[in-house]
Amino acid sequence: MSRFGRISVFVLAVVLLSGCTLHLAQSRENNVIDLARYSAIGVGLDKRREVMAALGPPDRVFYGRSILVFDYLWARHRSTDARFFVPSQIIPGFDPLVLLSLPRFFFDLAEHPEEFQPSRIEQLSEAVAGLANSAIPFSEGQDLLIARGYQLRHDRVRIVFDRASLVVQGKSMRFASGEYRIESLANRILLRVD
């Protein structure tokens, strides 16, 4: 085996034995709500028939004493979980922010246009370079660094009808939450960004 081959095998073995893992997950439910069609619904003008023609059958229906409510729902969840076993003595001055770029690499940051967005390759390079130089002495021996991130988004359109099935209210709501977190087994949460 050539010198290069031996080094490659060694590096691969070290990576495998180090227990570094990366897991990505994404789930979606229902079609994206067509907000353009929702915007075309006229309060005081359209009836239940027009609403269902525009948006389809609702995902939830309930009757109040004098109203009828339609809810249209859409949900998406994304998460990353990266784990690294890190020798505890290497270079001091490691900035956990560097690891933050790893979960962010896989997320769409378009919802936060005010944030500086380097290219994905830049983000990944930054994360890998940071990892290579990483680790302040978190504990004796080895420590486990866990970089986690998630984004959760629920969209909901609610249409309220009166007794005559006429639209009396329309509301579009978006619930979004997310968190990026760097944890160390020894020091627990090192960094948390909501």
Nearest residue (CB) to another protein, 55 versus 190: 55
Binding segment (CB under 8 A) for another protein, from list 23-31, 38-46, 85-93, 122-130 = 23-31
Measure Cα distances from 55 to 59, 116, 165 in Å.
10, 36, 16
Binders in 46-85 for another protein, by CB under 8 A:
48-49, 52-53, 56-59, 61-65, 76, 78
User: Is 29 a residue that touches another protein (CB under 8 A)?
Assistant: yes
User: Is 90 a residue that touches another protein (CB under 8 A)?
Assistant: no
How would you classify the pairing of strands 142-161 and 68-87?
A: antiparallel
Longest dimension (CA), the chain: 82
Provide the minimum distance between the beta carbon of 47 and another protein in the complex, in angstroms, as a whole number.
9
Please identify which residue in 26, 133, 139, 187 interacts with another protein, judged by CB under 8 A.
26
Provide the minimum distance between the beta carbon of 36 and another protein in the complex, in angstroms, as a whole number.
12
Provide the minimum distance between the beta carbon of 147 and another protein in the complex, in angstroms, as a whole number.
14
Render the burial of 131-149: b for 16+ CB within 10 Å, e for the rest: beebbbebeeeebbbbbbb
Tokens of 130: 């940071």
Nearest residue (CB) to another protein, 10 versus 175: 10
Q: How far apart are CA 174 and CA 186, in angstroms?
A: 37
Nearest residue (CB) to another protein, 95 versus 111: 111
Residue found under tokens 């249209």:
72
Nearest residue (CB) to another protein, 68 versus 186: 68
Nearest residue (CB) to another protein, 20 versus 168: 20
E strand intervals along the chain: 21-29, 60-63, 68-87, 142-161, 167-184, 188-193
User: Is 169 a residue that touches another protein (CB under 8 A)?
Assistant: no
Q: Characterise 141 by phi-psi region: left (phi > 0), alpha (psi -120 to 50), beta (else).
A: left
Residues forming the site for another protein (CB under 8 A): 1, 9-10, 12-13, 15-17, 19-32, 48-49, 52-53, 56-59, 61-65, 76, 78, 106, 108, 110
